[in-house]
Amino acid sequence: MYKLKTITIIMLTFFLLPLIPGMSEFSAEAASNDNYIKIGLKYGNNSVQSCTLSSEEGFQLGTAKNRGFEEGMPLPAYEKIIITNDKGAIVIKDEDGVLLSADIGSKGCIMPANDENEGIIYYEGTPYRGGIMLIPNSNGSIIVINYLMMEHYIYGVLNSEMGYTNPKEALKAQAVTARSYAELNLGKHSEAGFDLCPTTCCQVYRGYSGEYPSIIKAVDETRGEMIYHDGEPISAFYYKNSGGYTQNVEDVWSISRAYLRAVEDKYSPTYPWSVTLSYDTIQANLEAAGFNPGTVESVAINNRNMTGAVMELKITGSDETVYLKKDKIRSTLGPTVIKSLIFELTDSGPDGAASNWTISNGSSALKPDSGVFIISGNGVVKKMESNELHAYNGIESIRLGKDTATDIEAGRSQTVSFAGYGYGHGVGMAQDSAIEMAKQGFTYDEILEYFYTDIEIK
Ligand SMILES: [Zn+2]
């Protein structure tokens, strides 16, 4: 069903617009909704030595030009072709090794022959809309690129960014943000020969295999729509859960945008998280980020903004005090570990974690102090000599002997516990809330206008 609908739209675009006199500018703009985009499939260390393309209807060679496709030689009789890199030339042969093209050129593109933008081409058995471009590397390998229309790219992205079973208006909001992101980030990987990669670095893209009817409907119903502020496309950042407040972009990164303002998120489902990190782990993370704190001695929150997000974390070390600001807190300690900037922390303390240690005789806890003394029932104080007392901090137990202080020092396990709400950087649309709003009957443009300030959707 959805395929028929897309065909209808394409036919309308192709056949109706040229008939309207004086509308060339409009038709150019409408056609821009079909603008092609280059998605890297195999590149860098994953570049290939050779590859196989297949299409039930045969192939159509052509050229990628101005975000469109110019037809060249048809190859309708072949269902399978083999691609190799011969000294910098991309060579096409059939299954029997017969040469079909000695060099398709760096702008060459192989489409399925039935492509009225509805054909499917298989790269090593994986189906894609649009065509495949191949760029020779000087080391003899090949960069593989999927060249397809923006709308078809969004078909293959949306389910990975927000699952297809979610309510339609939330999917539509996500389609508009994904499209805005892609259009604004064209050429992000231009040094490698394509626009966007198919991973979380850009947006996760799974090709035709990632499409679902609900996804296609959401994309079609927002066809070509993007978010604008002051007439310019916006950076439509999004993330999973706000923790109750979204963030001013300048409170997260060192940029400022009038449309990325903090809003109280009344629709946020509660998303609590907690994690305990040892001082050693924190020290290792800081060192990996280029700091030299020495032995970590304490961790403290220095500053919050009005939403409760932590703006500065102070980590005192034996050699250096490190101040992690804003998103550097998450990027340094791990964005999946410190899930959001809205958190409280409990530091086990600088003196051998004394406040968290429990001194026990095996059955009942005793209160620790600097040195452990036993007070008898009639008030006689005696310094502890027994070997049968143990200290326990919830993770490990150490025996308290004559050299109690040394034992605690050697066996200490200093930790910082973080407990917070939300997941993600907090800038722009919270996906969990978009889903909740859609369930409550809000439309996709109302959802977008809630999270992005002073915007226009068109
Ligand atoms: Zn990328």
Predicted confidence (pLDDT) per residue in 159-208, tens digit: 999 999 999 999 999 999 999 999 999 999 999 999 999 999 999 999 99
- How many angstroms is it from 196 CA to the middle of ligand 1? 5
- How many angstroms is it from 200 CA to the middle of ligand 1? 7
- How many angstroms is it from 443 CA to the middle of ligand 1? 30
- Residue 71 to residues 32, 59, 112, 369, Cα–Cα distance (Å): 19, 11, 11, 83
- How many angstroms is it from 202 CA to the middle of ligand 1? 4
Alpha carbons 88 and 64: distance in angstroms, whole number: 19
The residues facing 65 across adjacent strands are: 68
- How many angstroms is it from 260 CA to the middle of ligand 1? 22
DSSP-derived letter for residue 449 is H
DSSP-based three-state secondary structure for 158: helix
- Residue 362 to residues 255, 305, 389, 404, 438, Cα–Cα distance (Å): 56, 45, 7, 17, 55
- How many angstroms is it from 340 CA to the middle of ligand 1? 23
- Residue 388 to residues 79, 357, 391, 401, Cα–Cα distance (Å): 80, 16, 10, 8
DSSP calls for 423-440: BS---SEEHHHHHHHHHT
Domain regions of the chain by residue span = 37-148, 150-271+428-458, 272-350+415-421, 354-411
Alpha carbons 134 and 122: distance in angstroms, whole number: 14
pTM: 0.78
- How many angstroms is it from 453 CA to the middle of ligand 1? 27
Share of the chain above pLDDT 70, in %: 78
- How many angstroms is it from 163 CA to the middle of ligand 1? 21
Predicted confidence (pLDDT) per residue in 401-451, tens digit: 544 444 444 444 689 999 999 999 999 999 999 999 999 999 999 999 999
- Residue 368 to residues 26, 201, 355, 384, 411, Cα–Cα distance (Å): 79, 49, 8, 12, 15
- How many angstroms is it from 181 CA to the middle of ligand 1? 12
- How many angstroms is it from 412 CA to the middle of ligand 1? 43
- How many angstroms is it from 293 CA to the middle of ligand 1? 32
Alpha carbons 59 and 54: distance in angstroms, whole number: 8
Spatial neighbors of 83 by CB under 8 A, at least 6 apart, are: 50, 51, 52, 53, 90, 91, 92, 134, 142
Tokens of 387: 């070997």
Residues of the chain with pLDDT under 70: 1-34, 115-117, 349-413
